[in-house]
Amino acid sequence: MKKYLFILLFLTIIFGCQKRESANVNIREFDNSLNESNSDSKIDISKMEKIVNEAGSMNLDVFFAISVLHKNFISQFLNEVQDLSEEKQKDFFLNKKNEFFKKLKFSEEEYNSFMEKNAGLMNDYINRHPEIAEYLTTIN
């Protein structure tokens, strides 16, 4: 279990540090089965999708909605990589991260830039939204 937490933490760091070109595809293309996998969560995945789809620009709500959707997307692959080496797991999740951002209205570059410019505001946001903090720090 700690290994998966480490992997998710590592991917979050990588996710926040890498850049990608913009893609303008609607997030609704994500598999609807992702909503079912989070039925015990306090997070409404459909609401997160709606926030991203309706946003005209990156803001705190959009940033954290993308973070939640990314975790939700990645979590479905944990069992798939369980027996892979650490290096192969890293490569696998990097590919999945790229796949995730190709489906978004916002680019990875926009996401990373927003994170770099708004670190203080992000901390305040998480303090006001403990359900998001809990979701992003737990393993599905």
Q: Say whether pLDDT at 38 is over 60.
A: no
- Signed CA dihedral, 55, 33, 112, 106: sign only: negative
Q: Say whether pLDDT at 5 is over 70.
A: no
Identify the pLDDT of residue 12: 53
Could you tell me the residue ranges of all domains in the chain? Answer: 2-137
Q: What is the 3-state secondary structure (H, E, C) of 100-122?
A: HHHCCCCCHHHHHHHHHHCHHHH
Could you read off the pLDDT of 82-97 as tens digits, one per residue?
889 999 999 999 999 9
Among 16-25, 66-75, 83-92, 106-115, whose mean pLDDT is lowest? 16-25
Cα gap 137→9, rounded to integer Å = 8
Question: Bigger pLDDT: 41 or 48?
Answer: 48
Identify the pLDDT of residue 140: 56
pLDDT confidence tier of residue 46, bands split at 50, 70 and 90: very high
Name which of 12, 75, 55, 51 is nearest 129 in CA terms. Answer: 51
The greatest distance separating any two alpha carbons of the chain, rounded to the nearest whole angstrom, comes to 41
Q: Say whether pLDDT at 26 is over 50.
A: no
Identify the pLDDT of residue 22: 31
Could you read off the pLDDT of 55-65 as tens digits, one per residue?
999 999 999 99
Question: Bigger pLDDT: 122 or 140?
Answer: 122
